[in-house]
Structure 1
Amino acid sequence: MIRVRRVQEEPSPDDGLRVQVDRLWPRGVSKERAAVDVWLKEVAPSNDLRKRFHGGQVDFETFAEQYAAELDDNPALDELRELVAGNDVVTLVYAARDEEHNQALLLRDRLKEGG
């Protein structure tokens, strides 16, 4: 099972393996508070794409397409697949405020599709 949760939310015993999928550590959140087991920053969008999306230069659809292309050549996605395969529950943890438009959701969907 793959779950998605904001790092600012209280960790739950049901989270299983907590994997941080942001390139930058979230401001104001201690590592103890985040309770992250693995920080897989290499699976996050590139700095350029992240900055363009957060700066409003690309919409979410364009961001999703470009991020998918980045993941096609990203060995960190294989590492994430291995973590998912080796654990009953994996929670992808992210810091974005937008709970409907973020890379963790895109990663979850990509992993569920098997791609």
Structure 2
Amino acid sequence: MICCKRVYQPVEDDDGYRVLVDRLWPRGVSKSRLQHDEWLREVAPSTELRREFAHRPEAFAAFGEAYRRELAARPEYWQGLLARAAAGKLTLLYATRDQEHNNACVLQDFLEDELERRGTGSSPVCYAGEL
């Protein structure tokens, strides 16, 4: 299971593995205060893409498509997140106020699509008697 959460929200027992997925460290949060397991700044959108988007909701669709292309080109940055999500709950942490139009939401959808695409194949029992 993958979920998204603002870094400013309280930590909950069922957050699972908590990963900050922003390129920049969140304002007003000391590194010692943020409870997280990992900071993956490389998985965040490029600086150019982040600046183009500028958190404008009307630009979110184009941003999402461009960010997905960046992610597809660099699987080494997010492969480990798939394993974490398959093993238990994964919480993607982000700082922006907009809870619907942000990179963590795009990353969550991207990872869920990858997990579904890589889903377990059919068992041999399904084909019993068809040979």
Q: TM-score, normalised by structure 1?
A: 0.90
Which consecutive residues of structure 1, in runs of 5 or more, have no partner in the other structure?
A: none
Q: What are the superposed Cα offsets for residues 4-35 of structure 1, whole Å, 9 maximum, x if unpaired?
A: 10001111111011000001110101223320
Secondary structure of 2:93's aligned partner: strand
Alpha-carbon offset, residue 83 of structure 1: 2.6
Report which of the two structures shows the higher radius of gyration computed on alpha carbons: 2
Query: What secondary structure is seen at the aligned counterpart in 2 of 1:5?
Result: strand
Matched, 1:20 2:20: yes
Q: Deviations over 1:60-103 (max 9, x none)?
A: 11101110110111120212223323x31110000011101001
User: Which region of structure 1 is more displaced relative to structure 2, 75-84 or 96-105?
Assistant: 75-84
Q: Is the 8 A contact 2:55 2:101 kept in 1?
A: no
Conservation of the 8 A alpha-carbon contact between 1:11 and 1:34? no
> SS of the residue aligned with 1:8?
coil
Counterpart-to-counterpart distance in 2, 1:7 and 1:110 = 21
Q: Which runs of 5+ in 2 are unaligned?
A: 118-131
SS at match of 1:14: helix
Alignment match, 2:77? 76
- Does the CA contact (< 8 Å) of 1:6 and 1:93 recur in 2? yes
Q: Identity across aligned pairs (percent)?
A: 47
